[in-house]
Amino acid sequence: MSNLKYELSKDLIATFGNDVIKIEETRHGVTLVVPVDSWADVARELKDNKALMFEQLVDLCGVDYLTYGQAEWQTEGVSSTGFSRGIYRKGPGRFSWDERREESVANRFAVIVQLLSFKHNRRLTIKCFAPNEGVLSVPSLIDVWPGVNWFEREAFDLYGIVFKGHPDLRRILTDYGFIGHPFRKDFPLVGNVEVKYDEDQKRVVYQPVSIEPRVLVPKTIRRDSRYVDSMKDQEAS
């Protein structure tokens, strides 16, 4: 661990203690895992504490940990014929959430925030898991960093995470009549409904999607010495 990471981790432990937070150190930096009940309080302290002073919220996003750590197909043995995978599987609904998860991914949905301290020239990632039971509710950070307004609306729109205390929590990227949350990993790739203009009714209408759901099969074309001869033979024929 670099000295910068060590100093930041030491200041975080001195401020919050090990009982309130969990610190994860990676090659990318320091991540602070915060319980949902302490989310807003920890955020306020991170901004106002003179030893930390994270004045700027750079980004907020949602994460869906469905299939976390699982590979849907193996890529080690890829050949010129393409991947041997998912065309035989159904598209939507092919994933399922396993409640028996390791402690680091106890809940399916999380909120990730990137912070920046101009005063101390530091960056920090904070993470909060939304509870599995009932509504996916996480306290809003808009009273701490007002610029998070549209970021939280985006996470609500795409993942269905409700930010309690947000003054105007509406969809921001999808249509008003959109069904579901498109960044969830179990969301059908073709969607649930499609939109068209009805000539008889003279208006835009929604109807069940007519595209057949399937999983695409990518193909890798090799151009190294192992395949040059076979490619020349194919071109000659």
Beta-bridge mates of residue 198? 203
In a domain, 150, yes or no: yes
What is the spatial distance between Cα 157 and Cα 148, in angstroms, rounded to a whole number?
14
Residue that has been written with the tokens 């750079």 in this structure: 58
Predicted confidence (pLDDT) at residue 86 exceeds the cutoff of 60: no
The number of domains in the chain is 1
| Residue-number span of the structural domain to which 65 is assigned | 3-70+84-236
pLDDT in tens, 188-235: 877 788 888 999 999 988 888 887 766 665 656 556 666 566 656 666
Helices in 89-202 by DSSP H: which ranges? Answer: 149-159
Predicted confidence (pLDDT) at residue 166 exceeds the cutoff of 90: yes
Give residue 87's pLDDT. Answer: 44
66: pLDDT confidence band, cut at 50, 70 and 90? confident
Give residue 151's pLDDT. Answer: 97
Q: What is the mean pLDDT of residues 116-144?
A: 92
In a domain, 75, yes or no: no
pTM passes above 0.85: no
Q: How distant, in Å, are the alpha carbons of 19, 31, 99, 146 from that of 140?
A: 23, 19, 26, 10
Shortest CA distance to 154 belongs to which of 229, 59, 82, 70?
A: 59
Give residue 203's pLDDT. Answer: 92
What is the spatial distance between Cα 158 and Cα 62, in angstroms, rounded to a whole number?
8
In a domain, 30, yes or no: yes
Give residue 85's pLDDT. Answer: 46
In a domain, 181, yes or no: yes
**Mean pLDDT score of the chain:** 81
What is the spatial distance between Cα 28 and Cα 32, in angstroms, rounded to a whole number?
13
In a domain, 77, yes or no: no
Give the CATH number, domain containing residue 149: 3.30.460.80
Per DSSP, the residues of 84-96 read --STTS-STT---
pLDDT in tens, 50-61: 999 999 999 999
In a domain, 66, yes or no: yes
pLDDT in tens, 111-121: 999 999 999 99
Give residue 135's pLDDT. Answer: 82
Give residue 216's pLDDT. Answer: 60
In a domain, 79, yes or no: no
